[in-house]
Amino acid sequence: MRHKPLREQVIVVTGASSGIGLVTVRMAVERGARVVLAARSEDVLARVAAELGDRAVHVVADVGQREDVQAIADKAIAKFGGFDTWVNVAGLTVYGLLREIAYEDYQRLIQTNLWGTVNGSLVAVEHLRKRGGALINVGSIASDLAFPFQGLYATSKHAVKGFTDTLRMELIAGGAPVSVTLVKPASIDTPLPQRARNYMDREPTLPPPIYPPQEVADAILHAAVHPQRDIFVGGGGKFFVMGKEFAPGAYDELAPAIIALQKRSERPRNPQGALHAPREAGKERGDPPVYVMRTSAYTRATLHPLATTGIAVGLAATAALLLRRRAKRPY
């Protein structure tokens, strides 16, 4: 399946007020698309939409509410006549032991991360059945891995994977012209830790290696034109998933190290975070205390396998030619 070029597309992005969502809408407009931004933070959305000009429109929405998500679709239809790609990015996390997390925090995170994806997917697919297009859900390597002290987040992302895979199969069985992609980022340099509900006695962070959000946005926009079933963003994340599948017991034994890598040395800045109310929106990146990778060679290779193979073949041929010339050289 192949979709329209980006310059001919209308793209809906939830969670568009910060991090991956914000980077994605800006990159999409740079590449010629029109965008519909949706999130809870009205002031940030209005400012970003004004920055992007007449190619953007914003909708204030809580994706956990089905009627809010329907309003996003209605706005896209009213403004641009419809949409071609829908991207479910909205998500938050909670740091803490599962037994310590308050029930209302369980409810709120699942409402956003899982039900937000369910609502967005079902609304989007009803529109896309008629015209074709792409549904792109942002999961995580936590869709395949468990992370102590982010167990609730991992729970929600496991559920997102199960829902996305099932919906894809149903669309295939029904012959619908809709591609479904699950993007699974590793640790990404966004404000996610700063916006998290935090039960720990230290400021949270993400375990390395950490990658820039532009790598995720690029993968999302690639899938909007050239669909792929799953896309891992970050070779480090793919490595850990493969390792866990090969030796799950050994991965479990890494729990103490994984916990330590999620804690900074400083005290918590804002333990309440943005779980129940929008805060700290408007930023693309966070402030991790470790080095952030510039790119993900692994992800770029998976997005452009033919080009990567061609380069590899070319390098091999060049190396062989140089070795042959060297062998013929008199000594």
- Chain segment 78-131, per-residue pLDDT in tens: 999 999 999 999 999 999 999 999 999 999 999 999 999 999 999 999 999 999
Phi, psi for 24 (deg, rounded to 5)? -65, -45
Distance CA 320, CA 278 (A): 58
Sequence-distant (6+) residues with CB within 8 A of 207 are: 147, 187, 258, 261, 262
- Chain segment 231-282, per-residue pLDDT in tens: 999 999 999 999 999 999 999 999 999 999 999 999 999 999 999 999 889 9
> What pLDDT, on a 0 to 100 scale, did the predictor assign at position 280?
84
> What pLDDT, on a 0 to 100 scale, did the predictor assign at position 2?
85
**Residue of 95, 106, 153, 199 marked catalytic:** 153
Which of 143-153 are b and which e, b meaning 16 or more Cβ less than 10 Å from the residue's Cβ? bbbbbebbbbb
Residue entry with tokens 């990778």:
293
- Chain segment 298-325, per-residue pLDDT in tens: 999 999 876 555 544 444 454 455 456 5
Q: How many CB atoms lie within 10 A of CB 191?
A: 22
Distance CA 174, CA 288 (A): 45
Alpha helix (H) ranges present in the chain?
Answer: 19-30, 42-52, 66-80, 103-110, 116-131, 151-173, 213-225, 235-246, 248-252, 255-261, 297-303, 305-328
Residues 194/148, Cβ–Cβ less than 8 Å: no
> What pLDDT, on a 0 to 100 scale, did the predictor assign at position 72?
98
Residue entry with tokens 């805060």:
279
The β-bridge partners of 86 are 12, 135
153 an active-site residue? yes
Evaluate if residue 155 carries a pLDDT over 90: yes
Residues 63/14, Cβ–Cβ less than 8 Å: yes
The lowest-confidence range among 30-44, 137-151, 222-236, 302-316 is 302-316
> What pLDDT, on a 0 to 100 scale, did the predictor assign at position 1?
78
Residues 173/247, Cβ–Cβ less than 8 Å: no
Extract the tokens encoding 35: 């965008």
Portion of the chain with pLDDT greater than 70, in percent: 92
Q: How many CB atoms lie within 10 A of CB 185?
A: 26
- Chain segment 180-213, per-residue pLDDT in tens: 999 999 999 999 999 999 999 999 999 999 999 9
Phi, psi for 49 (deg, rounded to 5)? -60, -40
Residues 69/119, Cβ–Cβ less than 8 Å: yes
Domain ranges of the chain: 6-294, 296-331
Q: How many CB atoms lie within 10 A of CB 293?
A: 18
Q: In CATH, what class is 6-294?
A: alpha beta
